[in-house]
Structure 1
Amino acid sequence: MALLKTTKLTKVFGGLRAVSNVNLEIHPGELVGLIGPNGAGKTTVFNLLTGVYEPTEGEIEFDGKSVVGLRPFQITQRGIARTFQNIRLFADLTVLDNVKIAYHFHVRYGLVESILRLGRYWQEEAEIEAKALRFLEIFQLADKKDEIAKNLSYGEQRRLEIARALAAQPKLLLLDEPAAGMNPQETQQLMEMIRWIRRQFNLTILLIEHDMSLVMGVCERIYVLDYGSVIAHGTPQEIKTNPRVIEAYLGEEVH
């Protein structure tokens, strides 16, 4: 059974069909790319999958159940986490606190225990801090745990954002242009990290990216959007040689 399935997914803003009849199917453990020219509707699809937007038409099923109409935090609790094209950290909090926040989707203590700082509160908070520190070690940020997030370098902020997304314990990770602003060496390191993340955390990953070397290097299947519609779907090799894809990117008909 597909972990994520969209059926005729459509989003209309005024008279503009930003996404039109998009059918995606992603199975557990896959690493799938979603590509297309600027303005093709890729980030709108991510916003629909994560509850930022509600579909005008169509269905989104995750783990066999509809998530249409759920709030973003409810979708995160179901098991979908994301990063953003423009990094969105809690800029004035510490690196450690940025990761700890993600764990609070899964706390078992209640409001009264939180306010009164009762026994289970302290036990869970200690567990959360220990888990967050382990994540920072994995992403080579442990020595930065007390730094304010906005003071990290660009590459460190990207790693922190991915660490925070993984701390939410997702089944599906959505990466929105993770290589944006990176040089070729950083992109290569990111490619290796994405492969490692999938193996280490047994994750399914859906990736938006403009860097074709990264997409072709890590993705097993690729969907291509143009003007809000899927124009092609296949393996990296099939996509690379698809005339409709070449036309969409080059803006000219390929004979």
Structure 2
Amino acid sequence: MTNLLLNVEQLGIQFGGLKAVQNVDMQLFEGELIGLIGPNGAGKTTTFNMLTGVYAPTTGSITFQNEKISGLDPYKVTQKGISRTFQNIRLFKELTVLENVEVANHSLATHGIIASILRLPSFFKGEQKMEDESLAFLKIFGLDTYKDEFAKNLPYGMQRRLEIARALAANPRLLLLDEPAAGMNPQETHELMELIAFIRKEFNLTILLIEHDMNLVMGICERIYVLDHGQLIADGTPEEIRSNPKVIEAYLGEEVVE
């Protein structure tokens, strides 16, 4: 049986008198590709922020690889093996494409501060290793020819690819993608679907994604969780979600998939 990777129990957060998310239960097993959907303001990104340490939950618990991580700082969550992208692209726009990926690689550096200060052989060896690994990531994403370009100069779709490459450079077990297809045209979205499927297999990842493009979600996700007004209203296979009355109602009669 596939191992349980992430277990979320009764997760909730309150801002003042507003319960933004409440009583959320989720389970992700190793190797799964899971969708998290819901109308605008449903609490999806807030849930991501709790999973990655940006927000400390008010209630409930988050267990990752049998270890409780609720309330850990974001950098500690990353070190545990959870990496993410953001709804609004957050690249270091004044750094080059290569440097953006190297930043993530540096979080896993094995040479110490003394080696860095004294420029010992281990420092140069470590730096070369990180550069080689960063270039390998860029090649996978078709960005190696842009390695010396400033991130701000990349087309939008390539900036999205770079953000995912940077997230993967942190060597996660679980990758969270927050609306990766936002702002993309149909062709870019199709290419993104293929890319997500590829990196899941290539890096042996578990992936949880937030997405409003229902064709993408229904096309690649094995299971889907649905949030509405901060609460889970459904979970199941794409077929089950597509025909669920609560989901249809939450989307105000809109078709769940075209």
1:248 to 247, 250, 254: 250
Letter in 2 for 1:200: E
SS at match of 1:106: coil
Instruction: Tell me the residue number matched to 1:198.
Output: 200
- Aligned-pair CA distance for 1:251: 6.0
Give the match's secondary structure for 2:106.
helix
Which residue number in structure 2 is paired with residue 46 of structure 1? 48
2:220 corresponding residue in structure 1:
218
- Aligned equivalents of 2:253, 2:215: Cα separation in 1: 20
1:143 paired residue among 138, 142, 145: 145
Aligned to 2:86: 84
Partner of 1:59: 61
Number of paired residues? 252
Aligned pairs (5 A) from 1:102-117: 102-117=104-119
Distance in 2, matches of 1:117 and 1:149, equals 28
1:115 Cα deviation from its structure 2 partner: 1.6
AA aligned to 1:202 is: N
2:26 is the alignment partner of 1:24: yes
Q: What is residue 72 of structure 2 aligned with on the other side?
A: 70
Of all paired residues, the percent bearing the same amino acid is 64
Match of 2:158 among 147, 156, 170: 156
Quick one: which of 181, 184, 190 aligns to 1:182? 184
What code does the residue aligned with 1:84 have?
F
TM-score scaled by structure 2? 0.96
Counterpart-to-counterpart distance in 2, 1:227 and 1:101: 36
Take 1:216 and 1:170, find their aligned partners in 2: how far apart are those partners?
Answer: 24
Amino acid at match of 1:128: M
In the alignment, the residues of structure 2 paired with residue 164 and residue 196 of structure 1 have an alpha-carbon distance, to the nearest angstrom, of: 16
How far apart are the structure 1 equivalents of 2:92 and 2:242?
A: 38
The answer to whether structure 1 residue 15 and structure 2 residue 17 are counterparts is yes
Q: Which 4+ stretches in 1 moved above 4 angstroms?
A: none
The amino acid that maps onto 1:114 is: S
Q: Aligned partners of 1:81, 1:108: CA distance in 2, in Å? A: 19
Question: Hey, what's the Cα distance between the residues in 1 that align with 2:161 and 2:117?
Answer: 32
Cα distance, 1:69 vs. partner?
2.4
Q: Using the alignment, how far apart are the partners of 1:55 and 1:75 within structure 2?
A: 14
Deviation at 1:116, TM superposition (A): 1.7
State the secondary structure of the residue aligned to 2:233: strand
For 2:39 and 2:71, locate their aligned partners in 1 and report how far apart those are by CA, in whole Å: 29
Which runs of no fewer than 5 residues in structure 1 stay unpaired?
Answer: none
**Displacement after TM superposition at 1:226 (Å):** 0.3
Quote the Cα distance in structure 1 between the aligned partners of 2:253 and 2:241: 16
Task: State the Cα distance separating 1:200 from its structure 2 match.
Answer: 0.6
1:55-112 CA-partner distances (Å, limit 9, x unpaired): 0010000011001121101100100000000000011000000001111121111111
Partners of 1:155 and 1:8 in 2: how far apart?
A: 36
The alpha-carbon deviation at position 3 of structure 1 amounts to: 0.3
Shift of residue 121, structure 1, vs aligned partner: 0.6
Q: State the SS of the aligned residue for 1:91.
A: coil
Please provide the CA RMSD for this pair. Answer: 0.9
